Amino acid sequence: MARTEKNGAKAFIWTIDAPSTSVRHRAARYDISNSNAVTSALTWDIYDQMKNRTSLPIIPKGINTVEDTLTAIQHGVKVLWNSNHGGRQLDHSPSPLEIAYEIHRNAPEVFTKVDVLADSGVRYGSDVLKLLALGVKAVGMGRPFMYANCYGEEGVRRLMQIMKTEILTDAQQSGVTDVQKVPVGLLNLRKLEESVFIMDGKY
């Protein structure tokens, strides 16, 4: 960690949603192994130990529930990352939209206390706007950039341009004048209400 810090890193990303090998039927069909074959016991004790070794933020990536979000904040996490690893680890794991709504529904203050990032399945400008509306600060994309990179730097630049245009165009079409302030009223939350966990003060 000291070496990484010395080399100018701005933060550590701590992947917490791949603690062991996962079930991947398509990979098995083509006899391709899964690189996440090591089982690791990920605990908040490990986070606390790591925290004492660096002044950089450690961002847990793969926070999937409001309960884990609140526990992370209790441990001093300042930035956290909602993700289901691009749906690669566990079938039926919640989408970032569902996770962000679960937090918004049960503990909306989270979005003002810490920075929440999100990825997995983001493909269009409208996907980005929905996450911003719920309070997410920044959105990531995995495979779209991997595929764009088949065309090298030019492909990656083109994808960024397409996304920027889509975000701005969709914002304009929905009457949003500032993408830093996308109102939650933009979303019809009724469907999400059916699919997320309601804590009812049980944390």
Ligand X SMILES: Cc1cc2nc3c(=O)[nH]c(=O)nc-3n(C[C@H](O)[C@H](O)[C@H](O)COP(=O)(O)O)c2cc1C
Binding site for ligand X (CB under 6 A): 15, 61, 83, 85-86, 119-122, 141-143, 146
Give the integer Cα–Cα distance in Å for 29 and 96: 28
Of 25, 75, 85, 92, the active-site residue reads 85
Q: Which residues pair with 148 in a beta bridge?
A: none
CB nearer to ligand X: pick between 66 and 141 = 141
Shortest separation between residue 143's beta carbon and ligand X, angstroms: 4
Shortest separation between residue 112's beta carbon and ligand X, angstroms: 25
Shortest separation between residue 177's beta carbon and ligand X, angstroms: 28
- Identify the burial level of 66 via C-beta atoms within 10 angstroms of its C-beta, where 0-12 means exposed, 13-18 middle and 19 or more buried: buried
**Any alpha helices (H) in the chain, and if so which ranges?**
2-6, 25-29, 44-51, 66-74, 96-106, 110-113, 125-134, 143-148, 152-173, 190-195
CB nearer to ligand X: pick between 85 and 130 = 85
- Identify the burial level of 60 via C-beta atoms within 10 angstroms of its C-beta, where 0-12 means exposed, 13-18 middle and 19 or more buried: buried
CB nearer to ligand X: pick between 68 and 119 = 119
Residue by residue, DSSP assigns 117-154 as EE-SS--SHHHHHHHHHHT-SEE--SHHHHHHGGGHHH
CB nearer to ligand X: pick between 61 and 104 = 61
Shortest separation between residue 122's beta carbon and ligand X, angstroms: 6
Interacting residues of 24 by C-beta distance below 8 A, sequence separation 6+: 34, 88
State the Cα torsion 77-183-144-11 to the nearest 10°: -20
Residue 25 is among the residues annotated as catalytic for this protein: no
CB nearer to ligand X: pick between 15 and 21 = 15
Shortest separation between residue 97's beta carbon and ligand X, angstroms: 12
Q: Which residue is nearest to ligand X (CB)?
A: 142
| Residue positions annotated with a catalytic role | 85
